[in-house]
Structure 1
Amino acid sequence: MTYAISGECCSDASCVAVCPMNCIHPSPGEPGFGTTDGLYVDPRACIDCGACADICPVDAAKPADRSAPVDVQLNASYYRERPPLDGLDLDTWEPPRFDPWSDGPRRVAVVGAGPAGMYATRELLQRSTAEITLFDRLPVVGGLARYGVAPDHPLTKQIVETFERIAAHPRVHWRPGTSVTVAELEGRYDAVVHASGASESRRLGLPGELTADEIVAWYNGRPGARRPELRGPRAIVVGNGNVALDLARLLPTLPGTGITEVLVLGRRGPEAAAYTASAYREVEGRNEIAFRYGVTPAGWDEHGLTTADGELISAGTLVSAIGFTGRPIEGLPFDETLGIVPNVGGAVIGRPGHFVAGWIKRSARGGIGVNKACAQETVRTLLTVGVPQPA
């Protein structure tokens, strides 16, 4: 189901910045911006990711099936006489600026082919003449867009097709299945953008717990992922983010697990829940899913979960979905508390020529669309700061 923007639109354009498919118009600088009744979603390009709804300050962006028919019609009619938009827009983007790089193309390495790395690559293609070498330890592009999005969200996964087209651009040299170190990159490239993500699951520290990453990687078919041991009839998911709700929705549907009900536990109150409205709508009213808040897990064994209050909650599976953290990158500074590489606007502190984008830059929060604005900031910083010049 695609999204539509209603007449309550305030045109602050927050949704334009986060839309991963560039399908909300007129955007700032385009004809009609500020003079039309609002902004409109192109139903031909929308991938149903919900980024516009999550950031809209006036709740004007909604799934089409929850929007007024007239709003759905107005959104579609805005694009009726327009050709389908190209998610890359490489040929129609503003001319590149070469203030610090006026002597021609340079070599840039992008490490990580997930959403942040691919958006950074697209920005570099659009705003410079740089030759880009793209590395990823996996054999395909997409990262969490391919292996982290729930399998029952096929529209959202369509963004991977755009990423594949970016990787196939003549100025991109794609190096799949390749791990590289900072030391190996030094001296070979004028700038390096690290977009390695934050794939390390935070844990409760209870023996026998499974992590969200283990299960999500398995049901999405990530190379090297193994089927975890899932037992029913009840599963407990600790966490109140979107990943926790995805697990709660999907665990009862997985064959051979015996799971028929899921209890979602929040260690704090409902006011601290981190899931988005669109994610909650997908589990709202499901009889097999229950929520409890203010519960502190203290122990786990074959009988179930013991809380800090001494209560035993019977269950066969315990899954921690309490977030992710980045891993240190050897050769770069690292903030253990935040799980990020310290940076200013994407420029790594103390390491000229090195930049970061995505979760390793800002910590593990925000969906696919947020990486677009994040990568744009990093590339703007890269082009403004430039690259170290020989003495």
Structure 2
Amino acid sequence: MTYAISGECCSDASCVAVCPMNSIHPSPGEPGFGTGASLFIDPRTCIDCGACAGICPVNAAQPADQAAPEDVERNAAYFADREPLEATDLDTWEAPSYQVWGGGPRRVLVVGAGPAGMYATRELLLRTTAEVTLVDRLEQVGGLVRYGVAPDHPGTKQIIETFERITRHQRVRWLPGGDARELRGADGQLPDGFDAVIHAVGARGSRRLVIDGEDAACSAEEFVAWYNGRPGATLPVELAGPRAVIVGNGNVALDVARILLSDEKRLRAMDVSPGVRSVLAASGIKEVVLLGRRGPGEAAYTEPALRELFAAAGDRVELRYHARPAAWTADGLKLESGETIAAGNLFTAIGFEGTPIDGLPFDRDRGIVPNVRGAVVGRPGHYVAGWIKRGARGGIGVNKACAQETVMTLVSSSRVPASPGS
């Protein structure tokens, strides 16, 4: 399923900035932009990530199966005589919109090869003459796209091919499976041979409920990493039906519920290992309770994600709101109200938080490195992008705009501001 833009489009181009595949046109600077006509989504390159729908101020971007047929046809017709624009073709991208970093080649270290790190690398290649050293602790690029996107969403993972092509650029030195600590400078100093460092390390820590018995629960981060086959990931609990409780009301919670309730036919169609498929099929979990500590108005899941869950297992999902967990026991999840929900497994999906980076300041309340538009406060030459910059929120496309801002700050600023701003 792709996305389409309806005739209600306001053409403010917010969606252009977050589209990870450069699928929305005309973009600023292209013929037709700003003339009052609608923007259009190329169905040949759209990966169904939903970034455009999440940011559209007038709800004009919609899944194609929910849009009016004439809108779907208009979007396709706009691109009928146009070749698809490759998202990593540096020769066909628009001219830089801000000053290219002059003075000959420079060296920039990018730590992290997830979406934020890859988009930061792309921007450096596009906007500067820098040579980029890209390092990640894992052997493959992609980060949460590869190991966080649900295995029944293969279209979204197509962007990994784009990231892999970036690593093969002549000005990129790709160091998979590397330890960035060996390259980083001590005590916040720049490492030898580099003019700047962009830290794009994400936010892998799972937030905790802080209840008795929580150590016997399984976090969404652990479960998702296991079923996606992230190196070194294991399932820390034994799956036991017939009911599981998931605390959380975001899209990740819905992903966990959908995977747990998938029948053997759906599991066979997913990109998961035979071992994972076998464990899920034998779990005996037939029902999932999705528990929200606040009301439905505060739920963070998107409407398309909720519809997908109910289409897969609607009669086996119960949504509960205003329910606060008190303890996880052998009988199930005890609520502050005194009620106990009988269940064999507890999953927590209440968000992620960043962890400190050696030599850099850290805001523990927000789980980020304090920064001003990506420039780390008090550490000249150090920059951040992605979740460690803005907090663990926003999907793939938001990282594109976030990385663009950081690289623009790196290119245009000669010093780090003294204090963080808005």
TM-score under structure 1 normalisation? 0.96
1:51 is aligned to 2:51: yes
CA gap 1:371/1:97 in 2 versus in 1, 3 angstroms: closer
Contact preservation (8 Å) 2:100, 2:127:
no
Which residue number corresponds to residue 135 of structure 1? 135
Deviations 1:80-105 (A, max 9, x none): 11111111241123445895842111
Which residue number corresponds to residue 213 of structure 1? 221
CA gap 1:166/1:333 in 2 versus in 1, 3 angstroms: same
Rounded Cα–Cα distance in structure 1 between residues aligned with 2:152 and 2:91:
33
Q: What is the CA-CA distance between 1:256 and the residue it aligns to?
A: 1.7
1:273 is aligned to 2:275: no
Greater mean deviation of Cα atoms: 319-328 or 50-59: 50-59
Rounded Cα–Cα distance in structure 1 between residues aligned with 2:361 and 2:41:
41
Q: What is the CA-CA distance between 1:332 and the residue it aligns to?
A: 0.3
Specify every segment of 5 or more residues in structure 2 that has no aligned partner in the other structure, as ranges: 263-279, 417-422
CA gap 1:325/1:60 in 2 versus in 1, 3 angstroms: same
Which residue number corresponds to residue 60 of structure 2? 60
Which residue number corresponds to residue 232 of structure 2? 224
Query: What is the one-letter code of the residue matched to 1:364?
Result: A
Which residue number corresponds to residue 257 of structure 2? 248
Q: What is the CA-CA distance between 1:57 and the residue it aligns to?
A: 1.5
Which residue number corresponds to residue 380 of structure 1? 408
Query: What is the one-letter code of the residue matched to 1:273?
Result: A
Task: Tell me how large the CA RMSD over aligned residues is.
Answer: 1.6
Contact preservation (8 Å) 1:110, 1:121:
yes
Which residue number corresponds to residue 359 of structure 1? 387
Contact preservation (8 Å) 2:11, 2:36:
no
Rounded Cα–Cα distance in structure 2 between residues aligned with 1:378 and 1:21:
19
Q: What is the CA-CA distance between 1:387 and the residue it aligns to?
A: 7.1
Q: What is the CA-CA distance between 1:288 and the residue it aligns to?
A: 1.1
Rounded Cα–Cα distance in structure 1 between residues aligned with 2:246 and 2:46:
31
Contact preservation (8 Å) 2:102, 2:129:
no
1:156 is aligned to 2:156: yes
Q: 2:400 aligns to what SS in structure 1? A: helix
Mapping of residues 1-391 of structure 1, within 5 Å: 1-35=1-35, 37-96=37-96, 101-181=101-181, 182-183=184-185, 186-205=191-210, 206-228=214-236, 229-253=238-262, 254-284=280-310, 286-386=314-414
Rounded Cα–Cα distance in structure 2 between residues aligned with 1:225 and 1:291:
29
Rounded Cα–Cα distance in structure 1 between residues aligned with 2:58 and 2:97:
35
Q: 1:158 aligns to what SS in structure 2? A: helix
Q: 1:15 aligns to what SS in structure 2? A: helix
Greater mean deviation of Cα atoms: 249-258 or 132-141: 249-258
Rounded Cα–Cα distance in structure 1 between residues aligned with 2:34 and 2:97:
27
Specify every segment of 5 or more residues in structure 1 that has no aligned partner in the other structure, as ranges: none
Deviations 1:254-290 (A, max 9, x none): 3121111110001111111111222222124611111
Rounded Cα–Cα distance in structure 1 between residues aligned with 2:64 and 2:98:
42
Contact preservation (8 Å) 2:100, 2:129:
no
Q: 1:249 aligns to what SS in structure 2? A: helix
Rounded Cα–Cα distance in structure 1 between residues aligned with 2:35 and 2:100:
36
Rounded Cα–Cα distance in structure 1 between residues aligned with 2:86 and 2:100:
29
